[in-house]
Chains A and B, each alone.
Chain A
Amino acid sequence: MGLLEPTRQAFALLLRGDPDLLRIIWLSIWLSVTAIILISPPSIALGVFLAKRRFPGQRVLVVLVQALLSFPTVVIGLVIYLLLSRRGPFGSLELLFSPTAIVLGYMVIAFPILVVFTVSAVQGADPRVFETARSLGASGRRAALTTLWEVRFGITAAVVNAFGRVVSEVGCAIMVGGNIDGLTRNMPTAIALETSKGDFAQGIALGLVLMALALGINVAMAFLQGEGGLK
């Protein structure tokens, strides 16, 4: 089968604003943004803490968080599935195959990305930032916030990377969301499903949206970073 016809159909779906397609796109973005908004503050705070404080076991904790980065998302999905399944410890909450379950999975996936990027950004900050703030009379908390502001491009990169990872994630979303039409079917799971059925048009259309989203986010980040970004 040629690619031309399904691609033409994909553009037609996008141009006429196919309601099913729009619903899937909206759900994907909504779930990803919700997860990132919920997990970013504690992850960034933990990243700052790990970067600035010295305590026994700190190195082990950093290595553990780094190890989470390379965990297959399908394994994360499996663990959450077991926790939320009827016989699992949180089965009574009846969250399995719900948007909430996907958000939980996304939060777990985004967590190590946000922490590790924040640790790296804060550790890479010029040590004079904190000292300058303190010597100008700032409290330790204000000086830490000033440091965070000075490395905001690194933090933005962390958030954007985490968003990019979860919005295109498929393994965990299928396991804990169940790919239920109108409820938990998002862009990556829909692409997987439609392709397996041989319906390439919707898959290509959603793939184009995902790629446009990735491009748009990166262009926006480069614009936001201005001259403070990558040289």
Chain B
Amino acid sequence: MSEALFAAEGVARRFGERRVLDGFGLNLARGQGYVLSGDNGSGKSTLLRILAGLETADAGTLRFQGEPTLLPSYPDDWRLHIVYVHQHPYLFHTSVAANIAYGLKARGEAREFSRRKVDEAIDWAGVREVAAVPPQKLSGGEKQRVALARAKVLAPQLLLLDEPTANLDADGRRRIMDLLARLFSEGVTVLIACHDREIIELPGVRRLHLENGKLS
């Protein structure tokens, strides 16, 4: 059986009177791909953002590699291993390569090592042909691929993807699907929040469904 990487217990989040997350539990095994489905507004994005430490919860405990933390506190060093990719990724006003290198630079990696890793990531995401284009001029699909490369280059223990194929054209969607399939085959632990049936039905992926604040 695969080793447990990340667990959440009793996570609750309320917006006014509305209870979005109702003390649910979650266990993510190392190397496993997960898809989190649910209606619009069911709290999928909120859950991902809580797991990434970008949003606080009212109650609950998170456990990463055996280390527990009581929400709303979130250890800073977890951010080095848990990477979140936004539904509409923000690319910094710099080059594609510098965007991909951002996290490596934040970790103080050597320049030569970073250059090599960024180069590999550019090829992995298939963005070589747009590497010289200012990121703000890239299409939605290209931005998403650069964002995936920027996350993948960090070799995260847990990758959280929020609706990676939302609002993409057919070609953009197909290319993201290819990258997701490669992530799964490479044994990266991934949790994807999405509506996309094609992702939900990918082979080998475990399906989670969020409804009325509970996971099933």
Q: Does the CB pair A134–B53 fall under 8 Å? A: yes
Report chain A residues within 8 Å CB of B151.
Answer: 136
Q: In the bound complex, how far is the Cα of B53 from the Cα of A131, in angstroms? A: 10
Q: How far is the CB of A226 from chain B (nearest CB, A)?
A: 9
Interface size on A, residues (CB 8 A): 18
Other-chain contact of A126, B80, B90, B134, B154 (Cβ < 8 Å): B90
8 A Cβ contacts from A130-145 to B:
131-139, 142
Q: How far is the CB of B207 from chain A (nearest CB, A)?
A: 24
A83 within 8 A of B: no
A residues lining the B interface (CB < 8 Å): 126, 128-129, 131-139, 142, 146, 149-150, 227-228
Q: CB-CB contacts of B48-73 with A at 8 A, as 1s and 0s?
A: 00001110000000000000000000
Report chain A residues within 8 Å CB of B76.
Answer: 139
Other-chain contact of B79, A126, A134, A228 (Cβ < 8 Å): A134
Report chain B residues within 8 Å CB of A137.
Answer: 79-80, 83, 103, 106-107, 154
B116 within 8 A of A: no
Q: In the bound complex, how far is the Cα of B79 from the Cα of A227, in angstroms? A: 33
Q: Does the CB pair B54–A131 fall under 8 Å? A: yes
Scoring A126, A128, A135 by chain B CB atoms within 10 A of each residue's CB, the highest score goes to: A135
Q: Does the CB pair A129–B90 fall under 8 Å? A: yes
10 A-B pairs with least C-beta separation: A128-B90, A136-B103, A135-B84, A138-B106, A137-B80, A132-B90, A137-B106, A137-B79, A137-B103, A131-B54
Q: Does the CB pair B90–A136 fall under 8 Å? A: no
Q: In the bound complex, how far is the Cα of B103 from the Cα of A142, in angstroms? A: 11
Q: In the bound complex, how far is the Cα of B159 from the Cα of A135, in angstroms? A: 10
Other-chain contact of B106, A126, A128, A136, A150 (Cβ < 8 Å): A136
Q: Does the CB pair A133–B102 fall under 8 Å? A: yes
Query: What are 13 A-to-B residue pairs whose CB atoms are below 8 Å?
Result: A133-B106, A134-B79, A135-B54, A136-B83, A136-B150, A136-B151, A136-B154, A137-B80, A137-B107, A138-B106, A146-B92, A149-B92, A227-B134
B86 within 8 A of A: yes
B93 within 8 A of A: yes
B25 within 8 A of A: no
Interface size class of B (residues with CB under 8 A): 20 to 34
Q: Does the CB pair B86–A128 fall under 8 Å? A: yes
Q: How far is the CB of A19 from chain B (nearest CB, A)?
A: 45
Scoring A132, A138, A149, A227 by chain B CB atoms within 10 A of each residue's CB, the highest score goes to: A132
Residue of A nearest to B55 (CB): A131
Report chain B residues within 8 Å CB of A136.
Answer: 79, 83, 102-103, 106, 150-151, 154
Report chain B residues within 8 Å CB of A142.
Answer: 106
Q: In the bound complex, how far is the Cα of B103 from the Cα of A150, in angstroms? A: 16
Residue of B nearest to A126 (CB): B90
Q: How far is the CB of B161 from chain A (nearest CB, A)?
A: 11
Other-chain contact of B92, A129, A131, A139 (Cβ < 8 Å): A129
Report chain B residues within 8 Å CB of A134.
Answer: 53-54, 79
Report chain B residues within 8 Å CB of A131.
Answer: 54, 84, 86, 90
Q: A126-B90, A135-B84, A136-B103 are in contact. List 9 more A-B contacts (CB 8 A).
A: A128-B90, A129-B92, A134-B79, A135-B79, A136-B83, A139-B106, A142-B106, A149-B93, A227-B136
B38 within 8 A of A: no
Report chain B residues within 8 Å CB of A149.
Answer: 92-93
